[in-house]
Chains A and B, each alone.
Chain A
Amino acid sequence: MTAPPPDDCLAQNAWICGEYLSTRRQILLDAVLQHLQLTVVSVALGLVIAVPLALLARRRRWTVGPVLGITTLIYTIPSLAMFSLLLPFYGLSATLVVVGLALYSLTLLVRNLLAGLNGVPAEAKEAARGMGYGPTRQLLTVELPLALPTAMAGLRIATVSAVALTTVGAIVGYGGLGNLIYAGMNSFFKAQVLTASVLCVVIAVVLDLLLLGAERLLTPWRRASGKDRVRSRAGSGIRRPVAAPGRRT
């Protein structure tokens, strides 16, 4: 066996191939952009629907059950089935993928928003009321900021899940990097499948870190020095995740 020339990895169908990266730069860039668009738009859409729903559920207690029930029901439906169920309404379009992903984000966001709002200490609310805050001002300046850490945890999970799920959109031709994985599968193009898969994980990690940074910026009071912080349980460093439903696939 002679050592292959370094620039021949495409012909050899190698997993890792610099030649692939340089020759398909534009295709990869387009796929990453589509992936980001689909993810960001769908999570944003989920957020726009989730916030009023969570506020409604908080104001009218009887709506909590139905809101949580229906969103959980939606979350149980597998992604391939979800996209297929939306086919008669949206056809083979990017809108189909965005709506499907937004429905999943919705569940995670509503749950965590409600958990966050319910976790606001009663003393904080009473203090706000005692200072003469109206309901709107109390919500905006006291309750929402205190609910933010839990809500952000939900937003991070929703975003990371959406990045992974976008790949399934390849079934209707709008899957961002999923399109490259799908095409690479059909042509047994190893470098393309591996590159696109790794880029998916990179996008997920980068978006997660960006949201973590945003959370830190938005909640400066939580950065108080370690000794000031109340530890939920002495000794054990494990805290139950607020909402850790199964991943959606």
Chain B
Amino acid sequence: MNTLSAVWDWLTTGANWAGENGVWHRLEQHLVLTFACLALSALIALPVALTLGHLGRGGALAVNLANVGRAVPTFAVLVLLLLTPLGRHGQWPTIIALVLFAIPPLLTNAYVGMREVDQDVVRAARGMGMTGTQLVWRVEMPLAFPLVLTGIRIAAVQLVATATLAALVGGGGLGRIITAGFNLASTPQVVAGAVLVAVFALLMEAAFELVERRAPGWVRGRAR
């Protein structure tokens, strides 16, 4: 009960929200890091996944990438990159680590989405004389979109979590409030930072949930 009121005090103290180490600045860093890395990883993963999915090649790679990646600790990769010469270039080690871990869910889901497109529809489109490019843009992509979106959602929520870990290697973001709390041995600050991070992650999840619910049928997919 004591901790709870101390956490509340921390969260309601204006000074904790302002300035370089304040919540607003950390939140901004977290948002920028998350969305910049999401855009970057989507730019890398989606073209590859859509091409492989269209051609029906590289399935084992696309599907297993996520499982292989699971065995590699994010924290270890963050620290390893920090100790390479890249570590002297500000945020780059963090960005590279975040992008590396956001690629597998994007790639796997987009690939599976492309492969699960009803082959009768594809054959019908070919029969109508569509070229490969038309087939991708007008038939396969719209039908694969629900799973592409699922991949983006998983990647986004995961990026929020990974960006938090970046604080351990000196990156910005809301995780810094937690690590600073540990350094100050201030349990209220640690818990307050954790609450902020958890709320942020849940809001990200909720935002995607809302998009998927409100969106037209073809975005949501059939049986979901």
Chain A interface (Cβ within 8 Å of chain B)? 73, 76-82, 84-85, 87-88, 157, 160-161, 163-165, 167-168, 170-171, 178, 181-182, 184-185, 188, 190, 193-194, 196-197, 200-201, 204-205, 208, 236-238, 240-241, 244-249
With contacts A185-B82, A246-B157, A246-B158 known, is A78 near B197, CB below 8 A?
yes
Residue B107 lies at the interface, judged by CB distance under 8 Å to chain A: no
* Contact present for B71 and A164 (CB under 8 Å): yes
Q: A77-B197, A80-B194, A81-B194 are in contact. List 9 more A-B contacts (CB 8 A).
A: A76-B205, A78-B201, A81-B201, A84-B178, A87-B191, A178-B76, A193-B83, A238-B59, A245-B154
With contacts A87-B187, A196-B76, A240-B112 known, is A78 near B168, CB below 8 A?
no
| Complex Cα–Cα for A204 and B67 (A) | 11
* Contact present for B115 and A236 (CB under 8 Å): yes
| Complex Cα–Cα for A246 and B164 (A) | 16
Residue B63 lies at the interface, judged by CB distance under 8 Å to chain A: yes
Q: Which of B70, B82, B158, B187 contacts A164 (CB 8 A)?
A: B70
List of B residues within 8 angstroms of A167 by Cβ: 73, 75-76
* Contact present for B69 and A247 (CB under 8 Å): yes
Residue B172 lies at the interface, judged by CB distance under 8 Å to chain A: no
Chain B interface SS verdict (over half): helix
| Complex Cα–Cα for A247 and B165 (A) | 14
List of B residues within 8 angstroms of A80 by Cβ: 161, 164-165, 167-168, 175, 178, 194, 197
Closest Cβ neighbor of A186 among chain B residues: B79
Distance in Å: Cβ of B85 to nearest Cβ of chain A: 12
| Complex Cα–Cα for A249 and B197 (A) | 13
Please report the total number of B residues contacting A with Cβ < 8 Å: 55
| Complex Cα–Cα for A205 and B70 (A) | 10
B59, B75, B154, B169: which has the most chain A beta carbons within 10 Å?
A: B75
* Contact present for A84 and B115 (CB under 8 Å): no
Q: Which of A79, A170, A244 contacts B108 (CB 8 A)?
A: A244
* Contact present for B197 and A193 (CB under 8 Å): no
Q: Which of B161, B187, B194 contacts A249 (CB 8 A)?
A: B161
Nearest 5 pairs of A and B residues by beta carbon: A78-B161, A84-B194, A197-B76, A204-B71, A246-B154
* Contact present for A171 and B73 (CB under 8 Å): no
| Complex Cα–Cα for A157 and B115 (A) | 24
List of A residues within 8 angstroms of B23 by Cβ: none
With contacts A81-B201, A84-B194, A236-B115 known, is A248 near B71, CB below 8 A?
no
With contacts A77-B201, A78-B161 known, is A197 near B179, CB below 8 A?
no
List of A residues within 8 angstroms of B158 by Cβ: 246-249
Chain B 169-193 interface mask (CB, 8 Å, partner A; 1/0): 1000001001101100001001101
List of B residues within 8 angstroms of A160 by Cβ: 67, 70-71
Residue B155 lies at the interface, judged by CB distance under 8 Å to chain A: yes
* 19 pairs, CB–CB < 8 Å, chain A vs chain B: A76-B202, A78-B198, A79-B161, A80-B161, A81-B195, A84-B190, A84-B191, A87-B194, A161-B70, A164-B71, A164-B74, A197-B72, A197-B76, A200-B72, A208-B71, A245-B154, A246-B158, A247-B66, A247-B158
* Contact present for A185 and B83 (CB under 8 Å): yes
Distance in Å: Cβ of A185 to nearest Cβ of chain B: 5
With contacts A80-B165, A160-B71, A188-B83 known, is A237 near B155, CB below 8 A?
no
Docked complex: B56-107 residues within 8 A CB-CB of A: 56, 59-60, 63, 66-67, 69-77, 79-80, 82-83, 101, 104-105
Distance in Å: Cβ of A79 to nearest Cβ of chain B: 7
Distance in Å: Cβ of B132 to nearest Cβ of chain A: 19
| Complex Cα–Cα for A197 and B78 (A) | 11
List of B residues within 8 angstroms of A81 by Cβ: 164, 178, 193-195, 197-198, 201
Distance in Å: Cβ of A241 to nearest Cβ of chain B: 7
Closest Cβ neighbor of B97 among chain A residues: A249
Closest Cβ neighbor of B202 among chain A residues: A76
* Contact present for B198 and A85 (CB under 8 Å): yes
* Contact present for A164 and B72 (CB under 8 Å): yes
